[in-house]
Every structure is written in C-alpha cells, then in structure tokens.
Amino acid sequence: MKLFGKLVNFEFMRFLPIYITLLVIVFLIEAASVIFYAFMVKSEITESIVKHGLSKEQFLQDNGYASMVNILSSFIFSLPVVIAAVTIFIYILFIWYRDWLGKNTFIYRLLMLPVKRIQLFFSKGATILMLVFGLVAFQVAILPVLQVILKLVIPVDYRLDLTTQGMIRSLYYLRFLLPENFIDFIINYGFGIAFVILLFTMILIERSYRFRGVFMAVFYGIGALILVFSPYILQVIMKDYFFDNELLWMQFAIAIILSIISVFLSNHLLNKKIRV
C-alpha cells in the first residue's frame, strides 16, 4: 500500500506544473470576467442615475440586481474550466503513452517495480480522480473570492449576494459534479470512473497488439458503448416499457460490470501481453 501511495504521488507530481498552470488560468479568466461584468454594471448605474437622473428603484426595475448568477451562466466564465477538463481528458491518454516515449522507455522501470502491475493501472486512475476532485474543489473555493471582487465594485444597494451553495447550484457543471443527492454523486462519478477504466483498457489493448490493437481497441470501445446504451435501444423496442430511473440504473449496472471486466482484462494484458 505504501508503494501504491508513492506511485500515485509520482504520477501526480509529473503533472503538477501543468495542473497549477491550469488552475491559475481558471482563476485569472474567471476573475477577469467578474471584473468586466462589475465595471460594465457600474458604468450603467452611473450613466442611468447620475446622467439621466433615474431613481434607484427604477434602475433596479429595468435592469435587476447585479449578481454572480449573471456571470456564472456566461460562456466566458465556463471557458477556462472547459479548457482544464479537455486538458485532463488528453492527459488520460498521455498518462500511459508518455511512459513509452524516448530512447530509455520509462515503462521498463515501471514494470520491473516489486509491485503487482495492476497497481500501475490503479495508481494512474487514482491520479486522474485526484485531478478532477482538485479542479472541482478549487472552483468551489474561489467562488467566494470572485464574489468579493463583485462586492468591491458594485454598491450593496444594487447587488444581490449569494451563498456559496447558491453559486454552486447556479453553475451547471458544478450541479452535475456536486449534486445534492449522494446517490446522484455515486452515479455521476461511477460513470466517470467507468469511462476512464474503459479508455485505459483500450490503450493497453493497443499497446499489447500495436497495429492490430488499434482496431481491437476501437472495437472494444464501440462494443462497450453499445452495451451501455442498450437499455435505451431496448426501451424503443419495448415501446417505453421502463421508467427513466430504471433505465439509468440498468446503464449504471452495465457500466460497473464492464469496468470489472476491463480491470481483469487490463490485469491480464499487463502481466501476459504488454509490449515495451
């Protein structure tokens, strides 16, 4: 277990410089979007009240209160998180292929470690999970900071302050990543983990069989997707026989079964078939 922790830490530290850069980009772009919105609203307040003599009540009736809700729903605010998510997705692929790069392929040393090879698989998966949780936690942590920026620019009479929970509920991807219902949390992350396991297995299939492995991996991935969405195919055939929650649980059960099969297949490939 101690060696497994070292493997996770090693994988995490390899990505840390890029990860920190991503978090900085997320904060800077989101802060810039808040500042732009705040000064735009302040300019409107100044022009309407000072220049045109509009009352505060009339301004609020026409424009409403300034709030983080108006920023959180914008594309610019969400853009850096999308960039970070895409980068992490690319890293899901690169986390394996990087070990084969260079003259002295690092995969040799990894496979020679005194540890079960499947632990390499799980350590890389745990690293991806840590990156996702870290990104979510960072986004939640900076929301109050961003609202402070809004407070510094917009007078209290013209803004509507939100709690952190209220901001989370207003941000669509945080509603998905941090659902109020624990069961929804398990299902959402269960599907995410199953997706990562499937990609890892496809990569190991390709690495084990090289050119043939490309087609085998694609076939395996397509087959898995068909199985996951098969409840909806069955729903069409049976003419809406199942309830929506029943379809979801059927999908989830299939994803879990596929994950277990993929782990066993990956273990076999790492021990018997992997080529370096």
pLDDT of residue 81: 86
- The arithmetic mean of pLDDT across residues 40-61, rounded, is 80
CA distance linking residue 200 with residue 128, whole number of Å: 11
Confidence band for 276, pLDDT divided at 50, 70 and 90: low
pTM of this prediction? 0.88
Residue 177 has pLDDT above 60, yes or no: yes
Q: Are 135 and 87 in the same domain?
A: yes
Instruction: Write down which residue in 156, 178, 200 finishes a domain.
Output: 178
CA dist 113 → 11, 109, 119 (Å): 15, 7, 10
- Express each pLDDT in 115-134 by its tens digit: 788 888 999 999 999 999 99
- Express each pLDDT in 106-116 by its tens digit: 777 777 777 78
- Express each pLDDT in 230-261 by its tens digit: 999 888 888 778 888 889 999 999 999 999 99
User: How many whole angstroms from its chain centre is CA 151?
Assistant: 29
Domain that holds residue 104: 1-178
CA distance linking residue 51 with residue 40, whole number of Å: 16
CA distance linking residue 188 with residue 190, whole number of Å: 5
User: Beta-carbon neighbour count of residue 50 at 10 Å?
Assistant: 9
Please give the torsion angle defined by the CA atoms of residues 144, 162, 134 and 132, in that order, rounded to the nearest 10 degrees: -150
Instruction: Write down which residue in 178, 194, 218 finishes a domain.
Output: 178
Q: Are 83 and 96 in the same domain?
A: yes
Q: Are 164 and 188 in the same domain?
A: no
Rg (CA), the chain: 24
Domains: count for the chain: 2
pLDDT of residue 27: 94
**Highest-confidence range of 11-15, 25-29, 76-80, 167-171, by mean pLDDT?**
25-29
Q: Are 74 and 155 in the same domain?
A: yes
